[in-house]
Amino acid sequence: MAQVTLQGKPCRINGELPEVGAVAPDFRLTDVDLVDVGLKDLGGKALLSVVPSLDTPVCATSAQVFNEAATQRSCAFVVVSADLPFAMSRFCTGAGLGKVRVLSMMRSRQFAEDYGVLITEGPLAGVAARAVIVIDGEGRVAYTELVGEIGDEPDYQAALKVLDALG
């Protein structure tokens, strides 16, 4: 079982990210129109930015950075959080984010469990740790990063470099 920190204090998570080369676990998440979305619905290559909540500065920054990156690339950029779809929609509208797709874990934490990012202990128990997963066009994991300190930003350039190398 992996562990992350929140302001230096340990927060246990339920498992490990999928290994690079493994088939990406399918999922069911909810979009802003309350429609369930699965991996196949993303249409090929995808970058999943998993965040605890868009209602925090670091999560908002991540969404903005990946939204900007999405303007230059043709693949799905998805932000996954425990936020309700209504709040996610308000955030995206207010921040002018039209390129990232936001998906909620409101109906189930199965995504976080299957991807090994469900925080099981600490003040954020029940939400997902910050992570980035790149999935190639064949549905295989091409890159993963579990951010060790929840308050830190991910390595955007490393994830985008792998995404770009996929063509």
Q: Which of the residues are catalytic?
A: 59
**Which candidate, 108, 67, 105, places its Cα nearest to that of 87?**
105
Q: Which long-range contacts (CB under 8 A, 24 or more apart) does 122-126 make?
A: 122/6, 122/9, 122/10, 122/11, 122/12, 123/6, 123/11, 124/6, 124/11, 124/52, 124/150, 125/11, 126/82
Helix-, strand-, coil-residue percentages of the chain, each rounded to 5: 25, 25, 45
Tell me the C-alpha distance between 150 and 10, whole Å. 10
